[in-house]
Structure 1
Amino acid sequence: MRFPPSFLDEIRQRLPVSEVVGKRVKLKKQGREWRGLSPFNAEKTPSFYVN
């Protein structure tokens, strides 16, 4: 199923990706990006970026 680009843009404006990911991954703002521990593997140093 394909969605029109205008629909996807509206969703991105209403609900930032960092807000969605932040519900499962503890994120910390670093400059213009959000950074956290990867949900895909065990790590001690954050390497997961959301921008």
Structure 2
Amino acid sequence: MMLYSPNDKVQLDYNTAHYPTGLIKYLKTEKDRIDAGFYSIRTWEMKLYDKKYK
């Protein structure tokens, strides 16, 4: 997954129309943590999967 991130600030509205809307909405709620470097995008699918099927 590629995201535009000038000056270490991820731009979730730039060239992301091809990603699932739910993913972008969720990443927007986590934007501060992503920008601070305290976030692993790899865990998003696992957490979503756990919530959906438990």
Whether these two folds match at TM > 0.5 is no
Structure possessing the higher radius of gyration over alpha carbons = 1
The structure whose residues are more often strand, as a share, is: 1
Class of the TM-score when normalised by the shorter of the 2 chains: under 0.3
Question: Please, what TM-score do these two structures have when normalized by structure 2?
Answer: 0.24
Question: Please, what TM-score do these two structures have when normalized by structure 1?
Answer: 0.24
The structure whose residues are more often helix, as a share, is: 2
